[in-house]
Structure formats: structure tokens, C-alpha cells
Structure 1
């Protein structure tokens, strides 16, 4: 049970595995008015940057669950580095079936709603761990502008143009599920650049060090076409944000 190696190669230098900068992650924590002792469950927690920095800055406690052995070990090391290993725990497991033993104050899935087969399923999964009146965080893509064709949609990692919607429609979908959107922090083109462009250097350095690896042809192809494809499609059309929800 693990992520395919290509994911950890692409994001080997990343502490945040989505188009957020450390500054935006800090803004989100401040916007939520987190208080010491807030109990957090973070499904698909990656390298644990959200839990670790919020434990340091706001005194939260909690658990992160992720399917990647590499990212889980990085999260544990980050907790030790920041001196919060007694506040947060990281579990290597499939987050798609994880429900907290006790209700939490904040339940999050930041950019991995595939764990619930989509946004609606992930909201339902998180709700099973959330106390009444608690906060839910969902990280989700949306279209920044109208997508001209299916080729552009696929280049933005969608199956079709209908996979994502514009920001107002996305907010409306949360309402349809019975939740108020009470905060949001959105990625911008600069934070997208920091997420995507950093992958190119990771890929190139890995390729130089592993020219005979079985993944080398895939990495070479991705590095050859990826930067221009990103500039042409994803950077212009794909938005992403974290939305704070409360059940009505």
C-alpha cells in the first residue's frame, strides 16, 4: 500500500503537496482562529506540514493519515524538527476508510478528494469524524475561466470539462450538500508556479542521478513536455482553493 514512485519523485523537495505556499497555509490557520487544544484529523496528510506548523503556531493536536510511506516518514521527521511530536501523530494507512475513534474539532482533506470518490463522498467521510459544530476543510480545484476544449481540460488533469466547475458553482455545490462556506483561501498563479515548477527541478535531478531506472523514459517525457503544457493550460485555467465548511 503506497503511492506510485513517480509521485514522490516529482515532489521530493515539497513540504506542501498542493499549490499552497507556506504563507498561504499560515493565512488559512490564522483565518480559522485556531485555539490551543483544537483536535484535527487530516486525511491524505502528505508530509504533514499543515498539522506540524499549526501545532507549533496554534497549539493544535491531531492525527494525519497518508498512504505514502515516504511522506509519512517525512511528516514524523517534521514533527520532531518543530518540537511537536507530542502533539501530532502520523499514520501510514489508506485514508479513504479512516474514521476517528473520537469526534474531532476540525476534519480536513486538502486536495485529495479522490479518497471519497469525489467531493461529495469526501465530505460524507469527513463528517463521520467531526463533532457537531466543527469545521471541515476541503481542498478542491475549479475553473478560473471558461475552458475552450476537451484537450485543455485533460491537460489540467480533468477527465472532461464537466469534471470541474467555476468558483461560484463550486461554492454552490457545498451548499447543496448542506454546508455553509465560512472561509476560503485560494491559490494564485505564483503559488501554482511554486508547486509545479519545483517539480521540474526534482525530475531533472532525479533523472541525472538515475538515467538507467525503469522510470527514466517517463520522467524524461514529462520533463520535456510538462513545462510548456503547464504554461499553456493549467496555469491559465485551473484554480484551486481550501474551503472551510460548517454543517447547516
Structure 2
């Protein structure tokens, strides 16, 4: 059970594998008013930057769960680097079936709502680990502008226009499920650049070093096409992390 190899190659040494900068991640931690001693569960935790930096900066503890063995190992190394390995734990496993042993103060899924077959299912999954009165964090894309054609839709990692809501539709979706939106931090075009553009240099360096690898052809196609797709993506696709409290 692991992520395909091309994911870890493409992401290289990036710490945050979402269109979010370290600065925005720090703003989010302050915005939701984390308290020392609080507990957090991060499903599909990626490379652990959220949990590790918030443990350092806000003196919380928690658990991250991810399908990628590479990501889990990087998370554990990051915890050691930041001196928080006594307060955070990273588990290799299927986040879509994970429920915390004890209810947590904050339950998060940042940019991976596929673990619950979409936003609605992910909210239901996270709530199973949340204490009464606790907070959910959902990271999710939305349409900034209505895509004019199928080319734009596919450039934005979608197959159909209705794969994503617009921002108002996403807020209404949260509310229909019985949750108040109480904070958010949104990506911007520069955030998208800092997420997407490093892939290209990583891929190019890898291609130079591995021209005969079985993935070389697919990566060559991606390096040719993705900068052009990104031109559309940064204009039409938004992304943000939304803090929710149960009504």
C-alpha cells in the first residue's frame, strides 16, 4: 500500500504538497487560535509540515496518517528536525478508514477529500474523531472563475465542470451539512506558482539523470504540457483551507 512512484519523484523535496506557502500555513495556525496542549488529527497528512510546525509553534500534539511511505518517513525526519517527535506521531496507512483512539480538538484533511469520496464524506469521516465542540479543517479547490471550455476544466485537474463548486457553492455545501464556516485562508496565484513550478525543475533534473527510466516518456509529456495548463489553472482554480464548527 503506497502512492505511485511518479508522485514522490514529481514532488521532490517540497515540504507542502498543496498550493499553500509556509507563510499561509503559519497564518492558518494563528487564525484558528490553536491552544497549547490541544490535539490534532491530520488525515492524508502528506509530508507532515502542518502538524510538525504547529506542534513547534503552538505546542500541540497529534497524529498524521498517510498512504505514502516516503511522506511518512519525511514527516518523521521533519519532526526530529523541529524537536517535536515526542508530541507527534505519523502512521502509514489508509486515511480513509482511520478514526482516532481518543477524540481530538482539531481534525483535518487538507487537499485530499478523495479519502471520503468528496467533501461530504470527508466531513463525516473527520467528525468521527472529533470531540464535541471541536473544529474541522478542510482543504479544497473551488472555481474562481467559470471555466469556459473542457480544456480549462481538464487543466484544473477535473473531468467535469461540476467536479468543483465555486466559492459560494462550497460555503453552502458546508452549511447544508450543518457546519458554520468560522475562518479560512485562501491560496492565490503566487501560491499556485510555488506549488506547481517547482515540479518542472524537479522533473527536468530527474529526466536528465534518468533518460531511460520507464517513466521518462510520461514525465517528458508532463514537462511539456503542464506549464501551459498552469497558465489556465492559476487563473480559474482557487484553493483554500476552511475551518468549520458544528452548528
Do structure 1's residue 246 and structure 2's residue 242 form an aligned pair?
Answer: no
SS of match in other structure, 1:138:
strand
Aligned residue in 1 for 2:150: 150
Q: Distance in 2 between matches of 1:22 and 1:159?
A: 30
Could you list the structure 1 runs, at least 4 aligned residues long, displaced by more than 2 angstroms after superposition: none
Aligned residue in 2 for 1:13: 13
Q: Distance in 2 between matches of 1:39 and 1:157?
A: 33
How many aligned residue pairs are there? 247
Q: Distance in 1 between matches of 2:20 and 2:208?
A: 28
Deviation at 1:209, TM superposition (A): 1.2
Q: Distance in 1 between matches of 2:32 and 2:165?
A: 25
Do structure 1's residue 166 and structure 2's residue 170 form an aligned pair?
Answer: no
Do structure 1's residue 24 and structure 2's residue 3 form an aligned pair?
Answer: no
SS of match in other structure, 1:170:
helix
Deviation at 1:150, TM superposition (A): 2.0
Q: Distance in 2 between matches of 1:239 and 1:93?
A: 29
Q: Distance in 2 between matches of 1:219 and 1:147?
A: 26
Calculate the aligned-residue CA RMSD, in Å. 0.6
Q: Distance in 2 between matches of 1:165 and 1:114?
A: 15
Segments of structure 2 that go 5 or more residues without pairing to the other structure are: none
SS of match in other structure, 2:96:
helix
Q: Give the 5 Å matches for 1:35-54.
A: 35-54=35-54
Q: Distance in 1 between matches of 2:72 and 2:21?
A: 20
Q: Structure 1 residues 202-211 or 183-192, which shifts more?
A: 202-211
Aligned residue in 1 for 2:221: 221
Alignment deviations for residues 30-66 of structure 1 (CA, whole Å, 9 cap, x no partner): 0011111110000000000000000000001000000
SS of match in other structure, 1:214:
coil
Q: Structure 1 residues 68-77 or 7-16, which shifts more?
A: 7-16
Q: Distance in 2 between matches of 1:60 and 1:207?
A: 41
Segments of structure 1 that go 5 or more residues without pairing to the other structure are: none
Aligned residue in 2 for 1:84: 84
Aligned residue in 2 for 1:234: 233
Q: Distance in 1 between matches of 2:129 and 2:84?
A: 23
